[in-house]
C-alpha cells in the first residue's frame, strides 16, 4: 500500500512551503526520531512517513518554520498519527468528541482545565496542518478555531455552573445540562463572533446575567457571585499550566469597561445601549453572537440590540464618527506610507482593519434598511455589498483576495511562536523567512505580492472614504476604545510630547465613555472623536503638554454640556487653538476658565479682542452689577467676578499677542486697563469696608483716609498676575479725638483696622477667587512700620529718615482711592518730597552701591532673568527714577509714574539724549511684553532653551524677533545697551571726566 493510500491526510495536501531554517529543521528532526523511537508503533509510523516524499516535505514545512508547531507535534505524536491516517475531518471530530468527554461538567476542575488545553493544542496542530498544506480554505480554518473557542468557553462555564449548583450557591433548572436556561449569557465578540478567529487570537467576551432567570441561594449578592464566576472562567481559560493555556481572554468590549464589573446584569446592559452606546460599539456589535451559557437568552439580547446596531435612517453623523475613529489611526503622512519591514498588517495602511472598516461603515449606513447587509463575516459582507449594488464586483474580488492573503499571512506569522502579533519582522532576513513559510521560494516575489496587496487595499479604502492625508499633522495612531492602553497610541502621545502618556490615554477613554456630563450624549462623543487629533496636537503644542491636558480635563469635567462647545471648536478651529494655548501657557487663566466655562461665550463675541472700555464705562458697568448686591459678601463676590472676567479677557489678549495699532506690544497695552480696573474695584470696596467698621465703632470726626498705589499699580504697568503694592495714610483734625460709635476706639487703631480689613477684602479667597495679593513692603519703615501712617508722619519719614531706594520707589507712587481732599493733599506731599533738594553725589553713590549688591547677588544670572540681570528691567527703572529725583524740581512734568511716559517727558526736556531715550523706551516695552507672557506661561520659572517650541515661537513673536535664537541675541543686545546708558548717566560727580 502506498503512503498516500495509508495516510489519508497526504491526499489533502495542495502545496507545501519549504523550510526557511535548515538548522531548526535538523534539530527538530532529531527530536522527532528520538520521540518516535521510544514506542514501536510510533517508530513504525515514523519509518513509513519517512518513505513518503510528501510526508517528509510536510514535516519539513513544520519543523523548518515554526518552533511552536514543532513543539505541538512532538507532544501530540499519537494525535498526529491519527491525523495522518484518518484525515482532517475525522481528526476534527475526534478533538470535539474528546473535549466533550474530558471536560464534562461533573469532572474536576483540574481535569476540565487539562482537557481544554490538550484540545487547544490539538486544534492548533490540526488547523495549522490544514493551513500549511492548503487542505482547508481560510474561512474553514477560522470557523474551526471559532467553534473550538465557543465549545471550550461553554465547557468551562458549564463546569462552573454545575460546581455552584453542587455547592448550594445556585439552583439550576437542569443540573445534567447546566447551561440550559441558566440565565448566564456569554457573547463572542470580534473575530470570534464572526467565525473569523485568527490562529493565536485572544477571545473577546461579554458576560451578562439575567437576575430573573437565576436562582441564587448563596450567602452574598448575586452580582458578586457572578464576578467571581467570571474571574474563574478567565482563569480556567488563560492560566498557563504544564499543558499550556487555552485562550487569552479579553472582557474589555463590555459596556464602559473602566466603570462596570466584568459580569453585568442584562438590565444594565439594556440601559447602557439604549442611552450611552457609542458608534464604535455599534460596529463591534455587528459581529456579536452568543457562544456559551444560555444561548436562547443570548439570542434574545442580540435581538434587543438590533435597533441599536441597525438604525432605520441614514446616520451620516454616526458614520463620520466611525470614520473619525479610523482617521485617528493614521492622521499624519508618515503613517500613510507602506513600509514592509515592521509593517502592521492589521491596523497599518492597506491592512486587514481597512477591509473590515470598508464593510462595517457601509453596513452601518445601509443596514438599517437593507436586511441583506446584516452579515457578520467580512467575505460574506463583501458579497452582500455587491448584491446590494454598493460595491463593484471587481472591488469585492480585489478585497476578498487581499483579505485571504493577509489573514493567511497573519496566521503564518502567529504560528511561528504562538504570538498574538500582526507586526511583520523588521529584520530583512526574518521577513524573507516568513515569505518562505508563505510558500514563496523567491523572497522578492513575496515582497512584491505583499506590497501590491497593501497598496490595493489602501486604494479601495481611500476611494470609499475619500481619505486625505493631512501633512501638517504630527499625531500618529490614536485609539481610545476599550479599557486598556493601546501601545501604539502611547507611542503617539509620547511623540507629541506628553510625558505621562498612560494617564492621558486613560482620561481620554473616560471622555469617550461619557463619564463627564459634557461627553455623555452620542452627538458629543461623535464630535469629540473627530476633534481628538486636533485637541491633542494643540495641547501638545504648548509650554507644558501634560499640565495643559490636565487643565483641559478639569475644564471639560465642569462643563454642563459638550455638544455646543465641541461644535464651536469644529466650526472655529482657532478657538480650540486659543483654548489649548490658555491651558498650556497660562495656568491662572486656565483655572479661571475651568471655574467658569461660560467665559468662552465672551471669547466669541466681536469685541472680546478689542481694547478694554474707558474708565467711565467700566465704572457704570460695575455699579450696575453692584445694585443686585444683598450684603457685603455679595459686593466682594460681584467685584471679584467682574474683575476676574476682565483680567481673563486681558490675559487672553496678551496670550494671543493682540496689538491694536500700539507698537509697544500687548503687555504694555494691558498695563493701563489692568491698573484702572484695580482702582475702580478698590474705590467700590473701600466705602463698604468703611461702612462695616463704622457700624461697630463709628467714624472718626473730621478724619480722612487715602490709599496710595506703588510698584506696578502705581506706574500703571500691571500684568494679570500682579500684586497690589499699597500704602495707607490718614489725617486727623484733632489727635485726641475718639470714634463716635458704640465702641469708640482711637483714630490710629481705627485706621489700622480699616487698612487690615481693606487688605482682607482684596486678598481673601471666596468662591469667586480673590482680587489681589497685597504687598505692604513699600510703606514707611517697611515690614516693621505701622500699616497706616498719618500724613504728617508720612512726610516726616520721607524728608528725614527714608533711604535713597525708598525715594526712588516713591517716584512710582500715586494716590488712588479715598477721601478726595486727602488724595489731593497727599499728591502735593508726594511732589514736595520728590522735589526736595538732593545731594547728587549721595544719591548716585547709594544707587551704584545698590546696583553693585544686586550684581553680586545675581552674578551668574542668565540673560532671561529680566529683572535682575545687568542691563535688565531694574537697571532701566533705576535710570528713570534716578533722573526723576535729580531733575523733577526743575522739570515737574517728568514726575509721571509710568516709566515710558516719564522717559518721553525727559526726552522732551532734553534730560535724555534722543537715541538713549528711544533705546530705553524700546527696551522697557520689550522687557514688559516678554515678562507678561513669561509670567502667564511659566509664572516664576526662568526661560531656558528647554522650553517648548510653542512658547519659544510666542516669545519671539511678542519680542519682534525672527526666531528664538534671534530673540536671545536681541535680548542680550538690549541688556548691553541699557547697561551702556546706565553707566553713561549714573555717574558720581567728579568721576569719569565729570
- pLDDT band at residue 992 under the 50/70/90 scheme: low
* CA–CA gap between residue 263 and residue 231 (Å, rounded): 9
**Confidence band for 468, pLDDT divided at 50, 70 and 90:** very low
Question: pTM of the prediction?
Answer: 0.63
Per-residue pLDDT reduced to its tens digit, 701-722: 999 999 999 999 999 999 877 8
pLDDT for 485: 72
pLDDT tens track for 843-870: 999 999 999 999 888 888 889 998 889 9
What was the pLDDT predicted at 325?
A: 56
For 819-827, the CB contacts below 8 A with 24+ separation are: 819/704, 819/705, 819/706, 821/704, 822/704, 822/705, 822/706, 822/729, 822/730, 822/731, 822/791, 823/706, 825/731, 825/791, 826/706, 826/708, 826/729, 826/791, 826/794
From the CB of residue 169, how many other CB atoms can be counted at a distance below 10 Å?
A: 18
**What does pLDDT average to over the chain?**
88
pLDDT at 232 over 90: yes
Calculate mean pLDDT across residues 780-788. Answer: 86
CA distances (Å), origin 9, targets 111, 349, 625: 30, 38, 90
Q: Is the pLDDT of residue 950 over 80?
A: no
Element (H, E) at 435: helix 428-437
Q: What is the pLDDT of residue 243?
A: 92
Q: What percent of the chain has pLDDT over 90?
A: 59
Residue 401 has pLDDT above 90, yes or no: yes
469 versus 842: which is more confidently predicted?
A: 842
Strand 184-189 to strand 289-293: parallel, antiparallel, or no bridges (unpaired)?
antiparallel
Please write the tens of the pLDDT for every residue from 956-991: 888 888 888 999 999 999 999 999 999 999 987 766
* DSSP assigned state of 947: S
pLDDT for residue 3 is more than 90: no
Q: Inform me whether the pLDDT recorded for 183 exceeds 90.
A: yes
* Separation of alpha carbons 322 and 275, rounded Å: 18
| CA 583 – CA 588 distance, rounded (Å) | 9
Three-class SS state of 207 = strand
pLDDT confidence of 579, banded at 50, 70, 90? confident
pLDDT at residue 472 above 60?
Answer: no
What's the rounded Cα separation, in Å, for the pair 803 and 490?
60
Q: What is the reported pLDDT for 993?
A: 47
Q: State residue 956's pLDDT score.
A: 87
The distance from CA 59 to its chain's CA centroid, rounded to whole angstroms, is 52
Residue 333 pLDDT > 50, yes or no? no
pLDDT for residue 659: 45
pLDDT score of 362:
87
pLDDT given at position 660 = 42
- The number of helices, as runs of H, and strands, as runs of E, in the chain is 43, 10
Q: What is the pLDDT of residues 546-555, one digit of tens each?
A: 888 998 898 8
Residue 484 — pLDDT band, cuts 50, 70, 90? low
Q: How many residues does this entry show for the chain?
A: 994
Average pLDDT over residues 375-385: 94
pLDDT above 70 coverage of the chain, percent? 93
Nine-digit cell string for 180: 440550559
pLDDT greater than 90 at residue 428: no
pLDDT for residue 657 is more than 70: no
Nearest-10 crossing angle of helices 873-887, 840-857: 170
Rounded CA gap, 646 and 648, in Å? 5
Instruction: Give per-residue pLDDT as tens, 665-689.
Output: 777 888 899 999 999 999 999 999 9
Query: What are the tens digits of pLDDT across the range 879-915?
Result: 999 999 999 999 999 999 999 999 999 999 999 999 9
pLDDT, one tens digit per residue, over 611-644 is: 888 999 999 999 999 999 899 899 999 999 899 8
pLDDT band (50, 70, 90) for residue 663: low
- In the structure, what pLDDT confidence band is assigned to residue 994 with cuts at 50, 70 and 90? very low
The pLDDT tens digits of the residues spanning 404-423 come to 999 999 999 999 998 888 88
Residue 2: its pLDDT value, please? 54
pLDDT of residue 541 exceeding 50, the answer is yes
Amino acid at each position: 500500500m502506498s503512503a498516500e493510500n495509508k495516510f489519508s491526510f497526504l491526499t489533502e495536501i495542495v502545496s507545501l512551503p519549504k523550510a526557511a531554517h535548515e538548522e531548526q529543521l535538523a534539530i527538530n528532526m532529531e527530536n522527532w526520531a528520538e520521540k518516535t523511537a521510544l514506542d514501536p508503533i510510533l517508530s513504525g509510523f515514523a519509518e513509513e512517513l519517512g518513505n513518503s516524499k510528501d510526508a517528509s516535505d510536510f514535516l519539513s514545512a513544520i519543523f523548518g518554520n515554526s518552533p511552536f508547531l514543532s513543539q505541538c507535534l512532538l507532544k501530540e505524536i499519537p494525535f498526529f498519527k491519527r491525523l495522518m491516517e484518518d484525515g482532517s475531518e475525522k481528526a476534527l471530530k475526534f478533538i470535539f468528541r474528546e473535549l466533550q468527554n474530558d471536560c464534562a461538567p461533573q469532572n474536576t476542575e483540574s481535569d476540565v482545565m487539562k482537557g481544554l488545553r490538550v484540545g487547544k493544542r490539538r486544534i492548533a496542530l490540526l488547523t495549522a496542518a490544514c493551513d500549511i498544506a492548503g487542505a482547508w480554505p481560510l474561512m474553514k480554518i477560522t470557523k474551526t478555531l471559532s467553534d473550538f473557542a465557543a465549545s471550550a468557553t461553554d465547557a468551562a462555564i458549564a463546569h462552573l455552573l454545575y460546581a455552584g449548583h453542587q455547592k448550594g450557591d445556585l439552583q439550576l433548572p437542569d443540573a445534567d445540562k447546566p447551561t440550559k436556561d441558566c440565565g448566564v449569557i456569554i457573547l463572542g465578540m470580534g473575530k470570534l463572533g464572526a467565525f473569523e478567529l485568527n490562529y493565536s487570537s485572544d477571545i473577546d467576551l461579554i458576560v451578562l446575567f439575567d437576575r430573573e432567570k437565576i436562582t441564587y441561594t448563596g450567602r452574598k449578592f448575586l452580582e458578586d457571585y457572578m464576578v467571581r464566576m467570571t474571574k474563574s472562567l478567565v482563569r480556567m481559560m488563560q492560566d498557563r499550566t504544564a499543558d499550556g493555556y487555552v485562550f487569552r481572554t479579553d472582557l474589555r468590549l463590555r459596556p464602559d469597561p473602566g466603570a462596570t464589573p466584568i459580569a453585568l446584569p442584562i438590565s444594565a446592559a439594556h440601559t447602557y445601549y439604549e442611552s450611552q452606546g457609542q458608534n464604535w460599539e455599534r460596529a463591534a456589535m455587528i459581529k456579536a453572537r452568543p457562544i456559551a451559557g444560555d444561548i436562547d437568552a443570548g439570542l434574545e439580547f442580540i435581538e434587543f440590540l438590533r435597533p441599536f446596531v441597525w438604525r432605520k435612517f441614514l446616520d451620516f453623523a454616526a458614520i463620520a464618527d466611525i470614520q473619525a475613529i479610523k482617521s485617528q489611526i493614521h492622521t499624519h503622512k508618515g503613517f500613510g506610507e507602506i513600509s514592509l519591514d515592521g509593517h502592521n498588517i492589521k491596523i497599518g495602511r492597506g491592512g486587514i482593519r481597512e477591509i473590515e472598516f470598508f464593510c462595517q461603515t457601509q453596513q452601518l449606513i445601509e443596514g438599517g434598511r437593507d436586511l441583506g447587509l446584516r452579515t457578520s463575516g467580512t467575505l460574506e459582507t463583501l458579497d452582500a455589498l455587491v448584491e446590494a449594488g454598493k460595491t463593484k464586483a471587481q472591488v469585492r474580488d480585489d478585497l476578498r483576495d487581499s483579505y485571504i492573503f493577509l489573514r493567511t499571512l497573519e496566521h503564518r506569522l502567529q504560528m511561528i511562536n504562538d504570538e498574538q502579533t500582526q507586526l511583520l519582522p523588521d529584520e530583512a532576513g526574518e521577513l524573507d523567512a516568513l515569505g518562505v513559510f508563505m510558500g514563496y521560494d523567491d523572497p522578492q516575489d513575496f515582497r512584491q505580492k505583499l506590497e501590491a496587496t497593501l497598496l490595493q487595499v489602501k486604494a479601495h479604502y481611500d476611494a470609499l472614504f475619500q481619505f486625505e492625508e493631512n501633512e501638517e499633522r504630527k499625531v500618529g495612531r490614536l485609539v481610545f476604545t476599550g479599557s486598556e492602553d493601546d501601545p501604539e497610541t502611547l507611542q503617539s502621545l509620547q511623540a507629541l510630547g506628553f510625558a505621562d502618556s498612560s494617564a492621558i490615554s486613560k482620561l481620554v477613554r473616560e471622555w469617550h465613555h461619557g463619564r463627564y456630563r459634557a461627553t455623555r450624549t452620542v452627538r458629543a462623543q461623535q464630535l469629540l472623536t473627530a476633534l481628538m487629533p486636533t485637541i491633542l496636537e494643540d495641547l501638545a503644542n504648548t509650554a507644558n503638554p501634560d499640565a495643559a491636558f490636565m487643565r483641559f480635563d478639569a475644564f471639560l469635567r465642569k462643563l454642563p454640556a459638550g455638544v455646543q462647545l465641541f461644535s464651536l471648536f469644529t466650526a472655529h478651529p482657532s478657538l480650540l487653538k486659543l483654548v489649548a494655548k490658555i491651558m498650556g501657557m497660562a495656568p491662572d487663566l486656565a483655572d479661571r476658565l475651568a471655574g467658569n466655562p461660560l467665559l468662552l461665550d465672551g471669547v466669541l463675541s466681536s469685541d472680546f479682542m478689542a481694547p478694554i472700555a474707558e474708565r467711565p464705562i467700566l465704572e457704570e458697568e460695575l455699579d450696575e452689577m453692584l445694585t443686585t448686591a444683598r450684603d457685603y459678601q455679595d459686593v466682594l463676590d460681584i467685584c471679584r467676578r467682574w474683575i476676574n472676567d476682565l483680567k481673563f479677557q486681558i490675559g487672553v489678549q496678551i496670550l494671543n499677542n493682540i496689538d491694536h495699532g500700539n507698537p509697544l506690544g500687548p503687555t504694555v497695552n494691558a498695563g493701563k486697563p489692568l491698573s484702572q480696573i484695580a482702582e475702580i474695584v478698590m474705590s467700590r470696596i473701600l466705602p463698604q469696608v468703611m461702612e462695616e467698621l463704622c457700624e461697630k465703632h463709628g467714624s472718626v470726626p473730621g478724619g480722612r483716609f487715602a490709599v496710595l498705589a506703588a510698584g506696578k499699580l502705581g506706574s500703571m504697568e500691571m500684568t494679570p498676575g500682579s500684586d497690589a503694592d499699597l500704602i495707607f495714610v490718614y489725617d486727623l483734625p484733632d489727635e485726641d479725638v475718639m470714634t463716635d460709635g458704640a465702641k469708640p476706639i482711637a483714630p490710629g487703631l481705627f485706621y489700622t483696622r480699616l487698612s487690615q480689613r481693606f487688605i482682607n477684602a482684596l486678598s481673601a479667597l471666596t468662591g469667586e477667587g480673590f482680587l489681589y495679593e497685597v504687598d505692604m513692603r513699600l510703606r514707611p519703615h517697611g515690614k516693621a512700620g505701622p500699616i497706616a501712617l498719618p500724613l504728617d508722619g508720612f512726610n516726616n519719614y520721607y524728608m528725614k529718615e527714608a533711604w535713597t531706594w525708598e525715594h526712588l520707589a516713591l517716584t512710582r507712587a500715586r494716590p488712588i482711592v479715598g477721601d478726595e481732599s486727602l488724595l489731593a493733599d497727599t499728591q502735593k506731599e508726594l511732589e514736595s518730597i520728590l522735589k526736595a533738594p538732593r545731594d547728587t553725589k549721595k544719591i548716585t553713590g547709594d544707587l551704584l552701591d545698590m546696583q553693585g549688591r544686586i550684581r553680586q547677588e545675581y552674578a551668574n544670572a542668565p540673560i532671561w532673568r529680566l529683572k535682575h540681570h545687568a542691563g535688565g528691567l531694574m537697571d532701566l527703572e533705576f535710570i528713570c527714577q534716578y533722573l526723576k529725583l535729580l531733575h523733577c524740581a526743575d522739570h515737574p512734568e517728568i514726575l509721571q509714574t509710568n516709566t515710558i511716559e516719564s522717559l518721553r517727558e525727559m526726552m522732551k526736556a532734553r534730560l535724555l539724549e534722543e537715541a538713549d531715550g528711544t533705546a530705553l523706551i524700546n527696551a522697557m516695552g520689550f522687557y514688559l511684553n516678554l515678562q507678561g507672557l513669561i509670567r502667564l506661561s511659566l509664572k516664576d520659572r526662568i526661560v531656558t532653551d528647554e522650553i517648548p517650541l510653542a512658547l519659544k515661537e510666542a516669545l519671539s513673536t511678542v519680542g519682534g524677533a525672527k526666531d528664538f535664537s534671534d530673540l536671545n541675541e536681541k535680548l542680550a543686545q538690549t541688556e548691553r545697551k541699557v547697561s551702556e546708558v546706565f553707566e553713561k548717566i549714573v555717574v558720581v560727580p567728579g568721576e569719569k571726566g565729570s
